[in-house]
Amino acid sequence: MKKKNVINLIKYYTERNDVAFRDEAYAIALAFNRADDHELGEYIMALLSDKNTFVPQVLEDAPDYIRKVDQATGMLPLPECIKDDLMGIVNAISYSAGVNKFLFQGAPGTGKTESAKQLARILNRQLYVVDFDVLIDSKMGQTAKNIANLFSEINAIPYPEQVIVLFDELDSIALDRTNSRDLREMGRATSAVLKGLDHLNSRIVLLATTNLFESFDTALIRRFDTVIDFNRYTQEDLKEISEIILENLLQQFKFKGRNVRLFRKIIALMKPIPFPGELKNLIKAAIAFSNPHEEYDYLARLFRQVMPTVPGNYKDFQELGFTVREIEILLKVSKSTVSRVLMEERGESNT
């Protein structure tokens, strides 16, 4: 962090420029992360994410296909490269330079929708998501008309600086028009989306997500100012994120049993480690179904989810890197029993 960051913070505070103040604070957090002071960087971003601010209700009479999304809660663990890109969006919006359309692409569970919620919270805006299932109509040409009406509603938002509009899973309505397998009606729908994006009010911030980026019409991709790839997780990123997820869930469920070393060994058994959405579901299920009177039961359950076929003997567990104490936790047998059987297995292998 440089002196100018401190000066800017004071300046924006005295000017009551809340957006610029939060942007500067977020930039400071990223600077700490780049300097390997991750604990302080994550703490600052958690404060920004947890800020409870009031957002006026600017779409009280929203149509059926637009619904308000609840504020995000807690910190969203992401790789540094994606965090930097999201910070770029925060900066672009604060500059009010007409850079306002952003596409998040990546596999399910990579944090696209949750990132949209976090952006809305950091920017102190209300997030509205479009339900495309309501827009799709079996009548010829009606879907395109519904899309045109959608963009008219969006452009008529009275206080655009107070909202973010999310097109979640845009692929459900806008695929490649040149693909002969697509219905002609979906081609019309895609064309309507293109036209709507071309005439979108520059003060409206629009986010879109997709799991099928490769199937997108290239003309549609060009309508967005930036495309952010959410597939950029390394296996090390996912190991770190799994621990963050575990700690948050243990606090939520008020569990006292913590054995990070054993947890890491279990996670490392997954090849590859899945994206955060699936990771969270696995860990949450293990904790939720565990016996609250057995502090490490969730680890045994998580192990069985990761390894449906349990190794046939204790020696196999040791070869996987587990200690006698860890085998005791995973199989719920005494250490003395594990030690005795291991000695017997070694004896058999030596004869």
DSSP code of residue 211 = S
Asked whether residue 225 falls in the same domain as residue 167, the answer is yes
Asked whether residue 245 falls in the same domain as residue 108, the answer is no
Reported as a single tens digit per residue, the pLDDT across 265-301 is: 999 999 999 999 999 999 999 999 999 889 999 999 9
Residue 68 near residue 125, CB atoms below 8 Å:
no
Which of these three, 11, 29, 51, is where a domain ends? 51
Reported as a single tens digit per residue, the pLDDT across 74-123 is: 667 899 999 999 999 998 988 877 899 999 999 999 999 999 999 998 88
Asked whether residue 215 falls in the same domain as residue 293, the answer is no
pLDDT of residue 35: 73
In which domain, by residue range, is 292 found? 235-350
Q: Where are the beta strands (DSSP E) in the chain?
A: 66-69, 101-105, 126-130, 163-167, 205-210, 226-229
Asked whether residue 73 falls in the same domain as residue 2, the answer is no
Asked whether residue 33 falls in the same domain as residue 84, the answer is no
Q: CATH number of the domain that 196 lies in?
A: 3.40.50.300
Instruction: Kindly calculate the radius of gyration of the chain based on its CA atoms and give it in whole angstroms.
Output: 25
Residue 273 near residue 267, CB atoms below 8 Å:
yes
Q: SS3 string of 315-334? A: HHHHHCCCCHHHHHHHHCCC
Phi, psi (rounded to 5 degrees) for 210: -155, 145
Asked whether residue 27 falls in the same domain as residue 85, the answer is no
The total number of structural domains in the chain stands at 3
Asked whether residue 81 falls in the same domain as residue 217, the answer is yes
Residue 309 near residue 315, CB atoms below 8 Å:
no
Asked whether residue 338 falls in the same domain as residue 286, the answer is yes
Q: Is the pLDDT of residue 263 over 90?
A: yes
Neighbours of 250 (CB within 10 A): 16
Asked whether residue 334 falls in the same domain as residue 269, the answer is yes
Residue 150 near residue 165, CB atoms below 8 Å:
no
Asked whether residue 63 falls in the same domain as residue 185, the answer is yes
Neighbours of 305 (CB within 10 A): 15
Reported as a single tens digit per residue, the pLDDT across 41-54 is: 667 766 665 444 44
Which of these three, 200, 229, 258, is where a domain ends? 229
**Which are the contacts of 115, defined by CB distance < 8 A and separation ≥ 6?**
76, 78, 82, 86, 104, 230
Average pLDDT over residues 221-235: 96
Which of these three, 229, 263, 298, is where a domain ends? 229
Q: Among 232-236, 241-245, 295-299, 305-309, whose mean pLDDT is lowest?
A: 305-309
**Which are the contacts of 263, defined by CB distance < 8 A and separation ≥ 6?**
242, 243, 246, 299, 302
Asked whether residue 79 falls in the same domain as residue 38, the answer is no
* 72 closest CA partner among 97, 45, 99, 96: 45
DSSP 11-61: HHHHTT-HHHHHHHHHHHHHHHHHTT-HHHHHHHHHHHHT-------S-TT
Asked whether residue 195 falls in the same domain as residue 295, the answer is no
